[in-house]
Copies of this chain bind each other. A is one copy, B any other.
């Protein structure tokens, strides 16, 4: 159920927002309590501020629940869910909630550590972009070599219709996003690349690092900016570490481009290995301390050696299997598309001409934001493609 803001404001969603504001991200005690009492009741108990502590769920200690309830209550006194919702709308973000249509179900592999909900700035369908993505990760303090390789990989993967997924840091992250944006802009009309996805360790309205503010704006416009933290949340060391589990869970494959012996990128790798995601590493000169992490992964057999985008695509392609085939073929049948997607598709002309999103919105009887979002989904699913002048149906659906 979506209301006027374009997302659900059911009591459960409001409770998830409240917990995202007071609890650590992905705390399994939150998940266990919500499973036992329901999100709404858990939140209501918290804001009752009566000092009562719910009976702990199986496998959770009384102490763990007591200390958390105490901490959450103290924080909850300053939290207004309505204000967070206003803030979310004001910064042009939207919510994605588990169980709803656009929730990336691959995050469910995190089980008890699953995010409570996500904040997005995006014109794309997150689920489909992330399904056909490769995470490109590595050191903040990357070398020229590392940035060069990250750019080449991201550009080449974009050309092959893959989205790039990364953090928002300097070094490898930034190089990968920049190249993915160039690749998306230069893509042929039939490209269905999901662009680039940045997972932030802070609120969707914060630019961390500051110098990437413009980059984040471009990613929000052409790709996806996402976080599990509410607007206004500042980055923290813990935030970076828990953020890395989202990168690993969202993608079928992680490539480490450059990583020192103790690089934070290796925490993403550890999450990816636990989640059975494919891990790849780019070799570098053995004389470079920034490649030691990559070489250790190769040496220990935890990562496959990759040297270019073609090899990455060759490795990740089979992992997706039928779940996300090569660009140009269908991800889901037309019957499986949601009603909104079908409605928007009905407004997209056949192959002989292309029209802009506003025209499609009029033809389909939807608002422009809905059209933009559904076009991303339809493109990722192989039904529509960009062309000079706007969008048209792709060859497969033209008949």
A-to-B contact residues, CB < 8 Å: 145, 148-149, 282-287, 291-292, 295, 298-299, 304-308, 311
Q: How far is the CB of A73 from chain B (nearest CB, A)?
A: 52
State A305–B284 Cα separation when bound (angstroms). 12
Most B CB contacts (10 A, CB to CB) among A145, A286, A306 go to: A286
Asked, given contacts A148-B287, A285-B285, A287-B149, whether A305 binds B311 with beta carbons under 8 Å apart, the answer is no
Closest-by-CB residue of B relative to A257 is: B286
CB pair B283–A291 under 8 Å, yes or no, is yes
A308: chain B residues within 8 A (beta carbon): 286
Partner of A295, one of B148, B283, B286, B299: B283
Top 10 A-B pairs, shortest CB-CB distance: A283-B283, A286-B307, A298-B305, A299-B305, A295-B307, A285-B285, A295-B305, A284-B285, A282-B286, A298-B298
**Smallest CB separation, A305 vs chain B (Å):** 4
Indicate whether A284 sits within 8 Å of B282 (C-beta atoms), given known contacts A295-B305, A307-B295, A311-B299. Answer: no
Question: Which residues of chain B are near A295, meaning CB under 8 Å?
Answer: 283, 305, 307
**What are 28 A-B contacts with C-beta separation under 8 Å?**
A145-B285, A145-B287, A148-B287, A149-B286, A149-B287, A282-B286, A283-B283, A283-B284, A283-B285, A283-B286, A283-B291, A283-B295, A283-B298, A283-B305, A284-B284, A284-B286, A286-B307, A286-B308, A292-B307, A295-B305, A295-B307, A298-B298, A298-B305, A299-B305, A299-B306, A299-B307, A299-B311, A305-B305
| Identical chains in the assembly | 2
* Nearest B residue to A148, CB-CB: B287
The distance in angstroms between the C-alpha atoms of A148 and B285, with both chains bound, is 11
Residues of B with C-beta under 8 A to A298: 283, 298, 305
Taking each of A148, A283, A287, A306, which has the highest tally of chain B beta carbons within 10 Å of its own beta carbon?
A283
Which residue of the partner chain B has the closest CB to A308? Answer: B286
Note all chain B residues with C-beta closer than 8 A to A286.
149, 282-284, 307-308
Minimal beta-carbon separation of A103 from chain B (angstroms): 35
> Roughly how many angstroms separate A62 CA and B307 CA in the complex, as a whole number?
50
- Give every chain B residue within 8 A of A283 (Cβ-Cβ): 283-286, 291, 295, 298, 305
- Kindly state the separation between the CA atoms of A285 and B287 in the bound complex, as whole angstroms: 10
With A and B bound together, what is the CA distance between A308 and B295 in angstroms?
11
Question: A284 contacts which chain B residues (CB < 8 A)?
Answer: 283-286
Contacts of A311 in B (CB 8 A): 299
Q: Closest CB of chain B to A284's CB: distance in Å?
A: 6
**Chain B residue at smallest Cβ distance from A153:** B286
Cβ contact of A304, chosen from B149, B282, B299, cutoff 8 A: B299
**Chain B residue nearest in CB terms to A300:** B305
User: Please, how many angstroms separate the alpha-carbon atoms of A349 and B148 in the complex?
Assistant: 62
| A148 CA to B287 CA, complexed, in Å | 9
Chain B residue numbers with a CB within 8 Å of A306 are 299
